[in-house]
């Protein structure tokens, strides 16, 4: 029997980012090299150029096959190079050396030159691919560059884009959910470069700052997996071995321990493995033949971020979020109640949160997060509310059913938000059900649930708006449901579930029990979405918004 996992839009950010992973050592690279570039093409890792142990630029191309743990040679690059960059777009391997780019013909084992970039990008720029186009940012020694441009292989042409705000070389970057994250590096012109993180949005052609990298460095390796950016090792002011991961959903960094310290290395991803051959094991020059692989634990499928906003009244019209923890171990979570920082008129001035188990016993409560007995631990999660009058609970719970209740102190009313964060995604224990019940009014005071998928996989879901079947006086008689993307565009809507998708909804075995309730079945790519519950004809009452993962 298939077990459906209901995930109600109660506000959980599952910081699934806790994929600690493990290290593997593979067959050593035949020619030790540093300041090289690598790329994954058809299941193999191509290593391009770099300095050898005699500090000579090379044009060597060695190919690693993970399936057989063996190395082979491909045709040399057309020229010797170091501090170069590489990427695979539209199924072809591209090599960039400052202001010259070549493409590799795998069938004929040959290289040919393509259109030159508009700017020079020597000194290791950030290079990444989005929608089969190659984006290149920064580079150039010693001052660093702010230039960003994109190469279109289909048109064999380059286009200049908005520049970064901080010049740097020896940098790195990756695309996550359609945005280009460029981190760290160095420049003689600024001290900001080693820590800075900037993100580029192709839709708006603009850059924004994000949380700086805790360990300032340059000459590192960068990889993106499951919606996170990983930064490995590097140099300056000393040789680094730290591994850190950035989560764009929470805009936070965390440490993943140390690795075999190197700089001048590059990262390439196949599946859930990050391949990092070569590099230098000492400051400046000390080319290495190491071939280390970081294996990232595959996160369980499901929502990465779920949240709900509603107007909080008194009595049974408070905001109630339920969730289920499944698995065999305990789960460490953060539950938050926000009000003053919610950017709407009439925000709840002083929210209080209380957590109950399935028997109705109170596990923990908080009013004003700075009064929490484990305030230092809350700080360590980097999930503390931005306003001192907002509330937070950090606790560890065993598998079971739980309810978080948000109310106003002294009977206060206003718009509030309930959230649950999973901060231990590396265990088999996870948040399997998130639910929210609230009082639906009119205008801005409707029930709003937000959800985010991270990673690389799309998920089929059913989203439901429940009212009449809740029973009792005050239930919303006829709930309407809208599903919108992160930009607010309408993706689907429903009023009375039998009027659209009836057969598909029935096939899920999860149809609402009342014909006036609403449901939407759809497949969602990794991104942010919003589910909105209103009353038909401006009706008001208590309702529940929920979503189930179907695959």
pLDDT tens figures, 221-253: 999 987 789 999 999 989 999 999 998 877 889
Q: In terms of CATH architecture, what is 5-15+301-549?
A: Sandwich (2.60)
Determine the pLDDT at residue 434: 63
Q: Mention the CATH class of domain 22-295.
A: mainly beta
Determine the pLDDT at residue 299: 58
Using CB atoms within 10 Å of the CB of residue 48, give its burial: 0 to 12 exposed, 13 to 18 middle, 19+ buried: buried
Give pLDDT tens digits for 280-326.
Answer: 999 999 999 999 999 987 655 555 556 677 889 998 889 888 777 87
Q: Which tokens is 151 given?
A: 């190469």
Q: Which of 381, 386, 354 is nearest to 370 (CA)?
A: 386
**Contact between residue 417 and residue 342 where contact means Cβ atoms under 8 Å apart:** yes
Determine the pLDDT at residue 303: 56
CATH 2.60.120.380 domain range(s) in the chain: 5-15+301-549
Determine the pLDDT at residue 546: 86
How far from the centroid of its chain's Cα atoms is residue 171's Cα? 20
**Sites in the chain below the pLDDT cut of 50:** 1-19, 426
Q: Which tokens is 532 given?
A: 């909105």
CATH 2.120.10.80 domain range(s) in the chain: 22-295
Q: What is the DSSP string of 505-547?
A: HHHTT---SSTTSEEEEEEE-SSEEEEEEEEGGG--EEEEEEE
User: Which residues in 259-318 belong to E strands, given as ranges?
Assistant: 268-270, 273-277, 291-295, 305-312
Alpha-carbon separation of residue 145 from 101, 139, 197, 213, 223 (angstroms): 18, 5, 15, 19, 22
**Contact between residue 143 and residue 123 where contact means Cβ atoms under 8 Å apart:** no
pTM score: 0.62
Determine the pLDDT at residue 163: 98
């Amino acid at each position: 029997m298939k077990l459906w996992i209901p995930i109600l839009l109660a506000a959980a950010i599952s910081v699934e980012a806790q994929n600690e992973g493990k290290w593997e050592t593979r067959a050593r690279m035949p020619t030790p090299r540093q300041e090289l570039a690598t790329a994954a093409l058809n299941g193999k890792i191509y290593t391009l150029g770099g300095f050898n142990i005699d500090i000579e630029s090379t044009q060597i191309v060695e190919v690693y096959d993970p399936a057989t743990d063996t190395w082979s040679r491909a045709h040399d690059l057309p020229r010797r190079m170091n501090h170069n960059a590489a990427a695979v777009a539209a199924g072809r391997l591209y090599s960039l050396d400052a202001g010259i780019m070549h493409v590799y013909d795998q069938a004929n084992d040959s290289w040919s030159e393509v259109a030159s970039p508009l700017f020079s990008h020597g000194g290791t720029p950030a290079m990444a691919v989005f929608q089969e186009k190659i984006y290149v940012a920064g580079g150039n020694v010693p001052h660093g560059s702010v230039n960003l441009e994109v190469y279109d292989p289909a048109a064999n042409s380059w286009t200049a884009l908005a520049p970064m705000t901080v010049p740097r070389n020896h940098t790195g970057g990756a695309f996550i959910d359609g945005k280009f994250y460029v981190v760290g590096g160095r420049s003689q012109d600024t001290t900001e470069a080693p820590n800075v993180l900037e993100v580029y949005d192709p839709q708006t052609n603009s850059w924004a700052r994000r949380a700086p990298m805790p360990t300032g460095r340059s000459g590192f390796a960068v990889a993106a997996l499951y919606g996170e950016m990983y930064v490995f090792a590097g140099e300056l002011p000393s040789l680094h071995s730290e591994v850190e991961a950035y989560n764009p959903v929470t805009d936070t960094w965390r440490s993943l321990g140390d690795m075999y310290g190197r700089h001048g290395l590059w990262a390439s991803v196949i599946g859930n493995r990050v391949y990092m051959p070569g590099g230098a094991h000492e400051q400046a020059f000390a080319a290495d033949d190491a071939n280390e692989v970081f294996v990232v634990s595959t996160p369980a499928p499901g929502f990465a971020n779920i949240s709900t906003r509603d107007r909080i009244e008194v009595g049974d019209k408070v905001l109630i979020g339920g969730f289920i923890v499944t698995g065999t171990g305990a789960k460490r979570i953060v539950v938050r109640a926000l009000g003053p920082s919610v950017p709407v008129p009439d925000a709840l001035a002083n929210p209080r949160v209380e957590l109950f188990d399935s028997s109705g016993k109170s596990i923990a409560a908080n009013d004003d997060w700075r009064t929490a007995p484990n305030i230092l631990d809350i700080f360590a999660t980097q999930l503390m509310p931005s306003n001192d009058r907002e509330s937070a609970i950090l606790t560890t719970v065993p598998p079971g059913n739980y309810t978080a209740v948000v109310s106003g102190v002294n009977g206060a009313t206003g718009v509030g938000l309930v959230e649950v964060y999973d901060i231990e995604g590396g265990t088999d224990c996870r948040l399997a059900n998130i639910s929210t019940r609230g009082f639906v009014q009119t205008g801005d005071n409707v029930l709003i649930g937000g959800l985010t998928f991270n990673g690389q996989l799309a998920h089929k879901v059913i989203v439901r708006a429940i009212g009449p079947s809740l029973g009792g006086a005050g239930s919303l008689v006829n709930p309407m449901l809208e599903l919108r993307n992160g930009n607010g565009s309408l993706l689907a809507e429903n009023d009375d579930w039998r009027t659209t998708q009836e057969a598909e909804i029935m096939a899920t075995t999860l149809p609402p029990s009342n014909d006036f309730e609403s449901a939407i079945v759809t497949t969602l790519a990794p991104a942010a979405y919003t589910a909105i519950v209103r009353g038909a004809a401006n009706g008001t009452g208590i309702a529940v918004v929920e979503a189930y993962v179907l695959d």
